[in-house]
Structure 1
Amino acid sequence: KNKDTSENAFNKALDNYLKNDANIIATSEHYTNILVKQLSLPLKFYEWVLINFGVDSQITVRCFEDILGVRASIDLQLQETPNIEIPIGMNKHKFHATCNIFKIYCNAKNFYKPSHLNIISQCTSTEILAPLFKHYLPALFNLQITFELPMQIIEIINSTDNHYQSTFSKLNAKINRDRYILEEWNQTLHNAYLNNINNSTNAFQNYLREFIELC
């Protein structure tokens, strides 16, 4: 009960913060021609939430959505500026730390939802697309997994951001094969395949086509 009360309090606080945060990214927003979005809260907060509330809490899910939005905006900027390795507006440390927290969440559990396809359809990064199409979805639909987790965390020299990397290094083995979830994914994926999401990348279309052909 105390944990539920704490989580509710954090959810309310997060609501109030995000309402006033210009960096928050809606799941339907198009990311082209923008600077990289910044995480709404300090990196340590996302790590702390994962450790203290676990993979199944609502606040952890919401944290992942914020992280996913930022990771997608990084990917998009790198697509538009292929001559640079570090996104504009980020130093090397922050870039690696942001990518790390995304991978830590992905290694811990499948947080992807059908509603996230509009975001990831604009991406080309293997780190974003492969966990979904070659691990999570195959596991959900009892197909062969061809992308192994955990993803490797980049060690940041002279940083304290490395100490959580092994805490959730293995994907939660519990897979929710609820009929509603399967049907929602199946319908959303086939709609995306047949109707071609606006501004989707070739990489996304290839991953999607390969998965549909396996089903």
Structure 2
Amino acid sequence: MKFNTLLIILVVVMVGMTAINMFMAFNNRLDIDTLSSTSNYSYDYEGRATLDIETEIIFNKPDQMTQFLEQYDKPQEEQLADFQESMTQFSESFDRLMLVESFQSTATVLSSNRVKVVEHAVIAGFAAVENGVVNTDMGDMEFDLTGDAYSLTISIPTDAKVINLDPAPTVAADGNEFIWTNTGKTIFPKIQFSRGE
């Protein structure tokens, strides 16, 4: 099975597991813990989202790090194609097409058993849009934001009008940036917004 850290973060952190633990589940081999994860989602009025995710992981069996890092040797075009294929499967649950417009993924070795993974993607159709209202709803999916080292930030256009926001964020900044941190199991935020008057 193909492994894309960003997709894993999208799908697995939402259902209460860490990103890399999903890879471990896929392969039944890796012994890894997630030390921190910061996710930033920025939406526009067309339902496009820019995702920037940074995750630090520790390998309890350091020799497994080589296997993990091999995925980052793929050409950029192959990584993009693999990620699009995964997003197509992911989007079937939401009855809309999600098109990956760009994708970059890097892994930096911090020590003999620690790696920082940085992901950036722009995905059209990531949110639903109906009658000019953007809806970020992802159903029953959850993030596990247990501890100060885990956070989720969602940004919407500065002139947007918020129609609905659930659950309440830990911090709301400038009316268009919402942050959840140390909230435990948290449903993926359902934000409905439209262009301001």
Shared topology, TM-score over 0.5?
no
Query: Higher relative contact order at CA 8 Å, sep ≥6: structure 1 or structure 2?
Result: 2
TM-score w.r.t. length of structure 1: 0.28
Structure 1 or 2: larger helix share? 1
TM-score w.r.t. length of structure 2: 0.30
Structure 1 or 2: larger strand share? 2
